[in-house]
Amino acid sequence: MSTVPLPPATLVIATRQSALALWQAHHVRERLRALYPTCQIDLLGLTTQGDRKLDQPLADIGGKGLFIKELEEALSDGRADLAVHSLKDVPMIMPAGFTLAAILPREDPRDAFVSNAYQSLASLPPGSVVGTSSLRREAQLRERYPRLVVQPLRGNVNTRLHRLDQGDQAGVILASAGLKRLGFDARIAALLDPEESLPAIGQGALAVECCADRADVVTALQPLADTVTTLATQAERAFGLKLAASCRSSLAAYAVGRGDELWLRGFVASRDGCRALRGERSMRITDRDDAATLGAALGNEFLERGAAAILADVL
């Protein structure tokens, strides 16, 4: 008869050292402490390549995987037991030997417009500069507001807000989840509905990663998982996987429950926003396999409509 592994006596959480990453790690630690009061839980702060190389667009230096490589190395060599990520930073294909053991309840997944002088994108004068680090956001901005100038903006949330306050841009687009988690709700001038700016795959969700062979850690993390968020993001990630999504892809997907079905919307565009595809699909979902089937089906539909050629222009 098999036995269920007991939670470890100690757990070490690997995390990036930005304010938002630390908030996320502390949040997971507090959730685990509530579940396992006798477990000693520590943080291991690490600086990733993505944090060090801020002078180049993320798409040009290797993609979002640069934010998690060092954390995975800490898992592999035993310095850490688990790592906490923004799910949107996790590549569609997990490296061998690792697993996403839990996806937590989602925060607001929408993009947010932040400006010190304007209340909406529509109110910006022609030629105004808007900062964003995302090709997805850039394409949707260029499609809807061709009169605006889009400039790359990298760095953590505090750095991007500082750049805005220095007057480098008229406004910036950031994930509302990060702003809310750090207490910057008041900085949000407007929340962008998914119809205006479809969110990134996994945006707003936290993922906890560990080594696949650590059954004790996987079991300990299971109570953190949120079923609704897990199924929604599974569909989104399956869509991205079908289209070989990376940070060099101007691609978005967002799934929500609608009655007893899961409703998935997708978006693909050229960087200039001149060519764009939108689509949606829904189905009744009972488990992850169903969610993945939904995402793959929408991805196949996009490929049939010419998404590969559009994405090739972005690369």
Two tokens, residue 268 = 């693909």
Please calculate the CA angle 91-93-96 and round it to the nearest 5 degrees.
Answer: 115
Active site residue 60: no
Q: How far is CA 162 from CA 9, 129, 131, 141, 168, in A?
A: 41, 15, 12, 22, 9
Two tokens, residue 202 = 């996994």
With the C-alpha atoms ordered 63, 66, 67, 69, is the resulting torsion angle positive or negative?
positive
Shortest CA distance to 135 belongs to which of 151, 149, 122, 147?
A: 151
Instruction: Give me the catalytic one of 81, 89, 108, 111.
Output: 89
Rg (CA), the chain: 19
Q: How far is CA 70 from CA 7, 95, 108, 218, in A?
A: 24, 13, 28, 20
Q: Where in the sequence numbering do the catalytic residues fall? A: 89
